[in-house]
Chains A and B, each alone.
Chain A
Amino acid sequence: MDIIPSMEFPTRRSGLSRSLIWIILFGAITVILYASLPASVWPRLGQRLSVFATVFLGIFIEALPFLLMGTLSSGLVEVFLSDEWLARSAPRRALPAALAGASLGLIFPICECGTVPLARRLFRKGLPLPAGIAFLLAAPVLNPIVILSTATAFGWGRMLLWRLGLSLLMAISVGLAFSIERDSANILRVPIFKVGPGVVHTHSANETFMQKIRQALLISADEFFEMGRYLVFGASLAAILQAFISQTSLLTVGSGPILSVLVMLALAVLLSICSTVDAFIALGFLGTFSFGSVLSFLIFGPMVDIKSILMFLQVFRRKTVFYLVLLPLLMSLLAGLAFNYFSA
């Protein structure tokens, strides 16, 4: 979103040639492998590539509508939502503020890529700290699109319930933890108040409705391409694991009560998949990884991953970011371990 500084022109250029090289390389390798198939060096490689393609496209096609819905609603929120109204009507006391913040996502469905910029705008307009933090952590999960995609993947069952319940609980407790700090300047970065050129979107009142819709769609298209990358990476990794690595060797890792949770937590951070579609990636792991570890992936990933940490750093002081990562990490770990040890 708007806080990722745009790259300098020369870097953009090299970005193009670099990515073109990668694409050409990828294509060439695929073609060469395909052509050299009957050489029976790896007799099953061709079939395995097909398995990879089928699983990868399965995840991609199933996740695509949800990613589109998420980015679309993010664009609409950005263009149509009045930040002033939102900040003004938020409760002041810590617990109600945290509760209200955590459930804000139900009305404004956006994934984690949209929450940080929105939270930043709201902080600037005076939203209480517990509300903003709880919103930041809960909104990527507690929203209609993510509920729908999780239910599509896992059914209306215990995975969905635990995901929602634990995310809510974690968001509220972290929000409350930050309410101890009275002075928000200790939490937020100072430059947040400094408005750079073109950082704040000013939407003139004389924009017509259609112009606003157009604006929202442009924003969502940008976000779609930005977030689509993470989906492609995540789906590739999940498909590679399924196509090339035998389930029995994965099971050794995936059924270890501690190791499985640690691995899934690490994956949640590294993959940085948009919360609207992470359920489909997680689904692929459920066969081999324990329930607790998959659940910890589903609650931790939307709160903390590479891209959200990068965005946190733009808004909060380093110490705050440290706790924003540590507290959800410990709680997700605890939840995953609890399920692996105490639940069948």
Chain B
Amino acid sequence: MSLRVYRFLQALILLALVVFIGFKLISGTLSLYINMQYMPLTVFGIALLVIMMLVILPRPGPKLEEGQDHDAGHGHDISPAALVILIVPLLVGVLIPVHPLDATAAATRGMNVSAPLVGTSQTREFQSAADTRNILDWIVIFNSSADLSPYVGQSARVTGFVYHDPRLPADQFIVSRFVITCCTADASAIGMIVDWNQSADLKESSWVEVKGPVQASKLGGQPIPLIEASYVQATAQPDQPYLYP
């Protein structure tokens, strides 16, 4: 394979990566993969890819090109095998349907109802109105507060996906969210146990809004929040399915 073809293939793959990630960025599906706090890094990465692509794209004037380029490509393994591996992410992204992490992932990775695995050194606003707190807020409150009495009995309103833990009785389920610090590699599922007599009717992984007073329950000596649901309603998957610590 001539160096020109090799460079052209390289540029093509870089372009494909730009289109692929750019599309995820514009369509908003990027938030299914990374903490959106790091979105600027991705934009920066796309910019670097574009610059690299434009520079390596072979130009007309073959003689000059080969001459200028001869000491960059040499010595590197210029076999196409090295190039096609970079197509794998595109194949994975195109062929496998896009889904945020759900109950399947939670079943493999474990569900946490008492303590967030993530370091939550920052103080959370516990004075916030009870119905604006998300699942992570409630878990942190129950994990870190010495006195739970101000919180017990408050009415919670949280959104999450349904997770049926085999250890729970039939009239309970877990309303859960994934917490992402950096990207999906560090995702950990957290959840609150919900008392709801029609639990069994809820479809696994479906998104629900749960409302009801919060009670203090115990799991292995550790206080955990439990919602005595007054209603559980199906809801749309939020734009940002994950919570960020």
- Give A49 to B82 CA distance when docked, in angstroms: 25
- Give A248 to B55 CA distance when docked, in angstroms: 48
- Chain B: interface size category: 35 or more
Residue B85 lies at the interface, judged by CB distance under 8 Å to chain A: yes
Q: State which residues 181-211 of A face B: CB under 8 Å.
A: 198-199, 201, 211
Contact flags (1/0) for B66-97 with A, using CB distance below 8 Å? 00111111111111111111111101110111
Question: Which single member of B24, B74, B98, B186 contacts A53 (CB below 8 Å)?
Answer: B98
Residue B141 lies at the interface, judged by CB distance under 8 Å to chain A: no
CB pair B182 A280 closer than 8 Å: yes
- Give A246 to B106 CA distance when docked, in angstroms: 10
CB pair A65 B183 closer than 8 Å: no
CB nearest neighbor in A for B24: A61
- Give A62 to B1 CA distance when docked, in angstroms: 32
- A residues near B126, Cβ cutoff 8 Å: none
Known contacts: A34-B95, A47-B99. The answer to whether A243 contacts B48 by CB under 8 A is no
- A residues near B68, Cβ cutoff 8 Å: 211, 214-215
Identify the stretch in A19-27, A87-95, A125-133, A265-273 within 8 Å (CB) of chain B at 4 or more residues. A19-27
- B residues near A228, Cβ cutoff 8 Å: 85-86
Known contacts: A225-B86, A247-B109. The answer to whether A218 contacts B104 by CB under 8 A is no
- A residues near B85, Cβ cutoff 8 Å: 19, 228-229, 232-233
Q: State which residues 50-86 of A face B: CB under 8 Å.
A: 50-62, 64-65, 68-69, 72
Most chain B Cβ neighbours within 10 Å, of A57, A226, A238, A247: A57
Residue B153 lies at the interface, judged by CB distance under 8 Å to chain A: no
Residue B30 lies at the interface, judged by CB distance under 8 Å to chain A: yes
- Give A217 to B74 CA distance when docked, in angstroms: 14
Most chain A Cβ neighbours within 10 Å, of B80, B96, B98: B96
Residue B110 lies at the interface, judged by CB distance under 8 Å to chain A: yes
CB nearest neighbor in B for A12: B79
Residue B42 lies at the interface, judged by CB distance under 8 Å to chain A: yes
Residue B33 lies at the interface, judged by CB distance under 8 Å to chain A: yes
CB pair A214 B96 closer than 8 Å: no
Closest chain-A Cβ to B65's Cβ sits at a distance in Å of: 11
- B residues near A34, Cβ cutoff 8 Å: 95-97
Residue A11 lies at the interface, judged by CB distance under 8 Å to chain B: yes
Residue B231 lies at the interface, judged by CB distance under 8 Å to chain A: no
Residue B10 lies at the interface, judged by CB distance under 8 Å to chain A: yes
Residue A283 lies at the interface, judged by CB distance under 8 Å to chain B: yes
- B residues near A48, Cβ cutoff 8 Å: 104, 108
Residue B32 lies at the interface, judged by CB distance under 8 Å to chain A: yes
Residue A1 lies at the interface, judged by CB distance under 8 Å to chain B: yes
Question: Which single member of B13, B83, B91, B108 contacts A30 (CB below 8 Å)?
Answer: B91
Residue B101 lies at the interface, judged by CB distance under 8 Å to chain A: yes
CB pair A15 B76 closer than 8 Å: no
Residue A322 lies at the interface, judged by CB distance under 8 Å to chain B: no
- B residues near A233, Cβ cutoff 8 Å: 85
Residue A177 lies at the interface, judged by CB distance under 8 Å to chain B: no
Ordered by A's residue number, 23 sampled pairs between the chains whose C-beta atoms are within 8 Å are A6-B77, A12-B78, A16-B1, A30-B95, A50-B99, A54-B99, A57-B33, A57-B93, A62-B41, A64-B21, A65-B44, A72-B48, A199-B75, A201-B71, A214-B55, A232-B88, A238-B185, A243-B105, A244-B108, A248-B110, A281-B185, A287-B109, A287-B110
- Spell out B's residues near A (CB within 8 Å): 1, 10, 13-14, 17, 21, 24, 30, 32-34, 38, 41-42, 44-45, 48-49, 51-52, 55-56, 68-89, 91-93, 95-102, 104-105, 107-110, 117, 119, 181-188
Taking A23-B87, A34-B97, A232-B89 as known contacts, 17 extra A-B pairs with beta carbons closer than 8 A to each other, sorted by chain A number, are A22-B84, A34-B96, A48-B104, A51-B99, A54-B32, A55-B187, A60-B89, A61-B21, A61-B183, A64-B21, A65-B41, A221-B52, A221-B55, A222-B73, A239-B185, A242-B108, A281-B185
